[in-house]
Structure formats: structure tokens, C-alpha cells
Amino acid sequence: MKIAIITDTHYGARKGSKHLHDYFEKFYDDVFFPTLEAEGIDTVIHMGDAFDSRKSIDYQSLEWSKRVVFDRLQKYDVHMIVGNHDTYYKNTNEVNSPGLLLSDYTNISVYDEPTEVNFEELKVLFIPWINAKNYENSIKLIKDTSSICAMGHLELNGFRAHRGHVMEDGMDSKLFEKFEKVFSGHYHTRSDNGKIFYLGNPYEMYWNDVNDIRGFHIFDTDTLTHTAINNPYKLFYNIYYEDTNHKLFNSTEYGNKIVKVIVRKKSKPKDFEKFIDKLYTAGVYDLKIIENFEIQESENFDIDEEENTLSILNRYIDESEFDLDKNIIKGIFQDLYSQACEVE
């Protein structure tokens, strides 16, 4: 039996940004639903954070999520595990957005407590967001279950929350050693230790997602293997300007994209202006120009083009010499960066 697994879709993200949701829609129209049809899949598992805000969702985003996703899922058997963004309270999953907003869909089952579910011969343990109220029950069922596979919305240490940032808080992954395979949402980048797999979310949402592969997965219940179906669409682009010839520069792929131009060398300002004008003519959705981003040469700090801002900051902290707790400093930067990414 083949099952589609998707997670952390965050409907209503970025204050319900229409531009962001138009980008999301291309994934569903061109990748997700065509793959379900082509593979003959009739079961979908969502591993949490279907909706973005714990407190509310605007009418437009709710209408969008039903029209683009849930109405089209009505012919599928859908299982939704509650994530931390889906719950109104921090200490209980009782009040959650999937349970309240999707109750009219008879094909959708919502799990706000740990539950064993059978898929043909395979019994899977679903583990929603673990909090104060369900902690004891969750731990007991994890220890007592005969399931060899678990799926949930877990916060475990030792895995990448974002590229360049490994979580040092969270539950000990040793608790899950009994399982042959564990799949989880919550962290948006793919990461695994060979047994536990964070599958990542389907699409880019923030600047720290740039150049990070996204998509969904197909799970085979017979072999316990999973196959990534990558999302080919990008939204965020870094462009490095080093006296780049504006006449030879192809700007067409940046139409309707969010672009950051990082200036490394600008000998002729007028040529740079022509370069930027070419991007605007191509129809970029948003353009930021970063200049004077310099690390003193004496510090001998090299920047890899594939790194994002957060990974650069974390590595800079690691390589710096000071007496403060570097993990605390990283945590502060992580919080500040996440807040900055959410600003429209």
C-alpha cells in the first residue's frame, strides 16, 4: 500500500499573503495532486501544522485551503495529526484548528491524542504534539505499543530545525529506538539519523528556506521505505553581484519572485543600476539589495554561497572566541531571525 505523507503546510502563513498562497497553489496543481493520481494513491497522512496561526485564520486563507486542498482531497482517506501550530492552547490539544475547521469533511480523521491506526497489515502509531496534558499518555503508548512505525509532530534533539541550525533542546530520540521507522513533521528541513526521518515541508516560506529542497513523500507500507517527490518551484533567490554584465544577465526566471541581491563588487554604479532595472523589468515581486556586508579580512571568515543567513551567523558564532554561552547566543539570533522572516 502506498500512502502520501505531507506535513507543515501552514495555510494562512505570512498573514494570509496572497502571493505566498499563489506559490503554494502551483505545488498542489502541478505536483501533489497529479502525483496522487499517477501513483494510484488513495490515502494521505498529514503530520501536523496544517494551519499556521494558533489563534486565528482569515476568511480568505480558509476559503483558499478548502478550495485548493481539502475539497480536492474528498475522494481520499485523510488522516491529520495535530501539530503545535494547530492547537489554541500550549498545554493541551483539545482545541485545534483541523478539528474545528474541517469537521464537515467526513473523509478526514483528526488525531489530537496518540492513536494506533492500521493500514492493511501495518499498524502505525500517530503521535500528535506532546504537551503537559497528553505527556504521560504519549510516553506510555510509545513504550507499550507493538507498532513498528510511528508518525508524529515531534520535537527531538539532534536534528536540524533549519539548515545550519541543529536543535539541542527537545526530547531524547532514544525513546524511539524500538521502532523500525519514525517519520515526523515540525522541523521544516529534511534531516534523519537512519531511523528517524524529518520529512520537511512542501515549499519555501521564509528566507532561511532558500535553496533547501522541499516537497512531500510516498510511503510504502510493505517495505517501510519512503520516496521524496520534490517541489521544483522556488520563491526566494539570492543573486551575487560582482560587476556582473547586465547585458548577459538573464533576469526572466526572477519574475514574481522574492529576490535578494548581495553586492560583492560594484565598480560602476551606473552598470549596477542597469542590472537592478533589468530585474524590475522582469517583474520581481520583492527586491532587497544587501551592500557593505563585510567580515574583516583579519578574521579569515569565508562565506559559502549555498549558506543562508542563519547558518552563516551560527558558524560565525562557533568560530568566534568569547566567554559567553554560544548556545544561548545562537538561540537569541534564532528567535530574532525567525521574527524578522515573518515581517511582511
DSSP 260-276: EEEEEE-S-HHHHHHHH
Q: Are strands 43-46 and 115-119 parallel, antiparallel or unpaired?
A: unpaired
pLDDT at position 321 is 65
Q: Report CA 284 to chain centroid distance, whole Å.
A: 23
Q: Please tell me the distance from the alpha carbon of residue 143 to that of residue 229, in angstroms, as a whole number.
A: 32
Using a CB cutoff of 8 Å and minimum separation of 24, what contacts does 134-143 make? 134/92, 134/93, 137/113, 138/114, 139/175, 141/114, 141/116, 142/114, 142/175, 142/176, 143/175, 143/178
pLDDT at position 342 is 54
- Cell for 118? 492500521
pLDDT at position 91 is 95
Q: Please tell me the distance from the alpha carbon of residue 116 to that of residue 237, in angstroms, as a whole number.
A: 42
pLDDT, tens digit, 9 for 90 and up, residues 9-26: 999 999 999 999 999 999
Q: What is the mean pLDDT of the chain?
A: 91
pTM of the model: 0.85
Q: Please tell me the distance from the alpha carbon of residue 211 to that of residue 213, in angstroms, as a whole number.
A: 6
Confidence tier at 332 by pLDDT (50, 70, 90): confident
Q: What percent of the chain has pLDDT over 90?
A: 81
Residue type, 281: T
Q: Please tell me the distance from the alpha carbon of residue 190 to that of residue 212, in angstroms, as a whole number.
A: 9
- Cell for 181? 521507522
Residue type, 269: P
The mean pLDDT of 278-296, rounded to a whole number, is 84
pLDDT, tens digit, 9 for 90 and up, residues 74-116: 999 999 999 999 999 999 999 999 999 999 999 999 999 999 9
Confidence tier at 293 by pLDDT (50, 70, 90): low
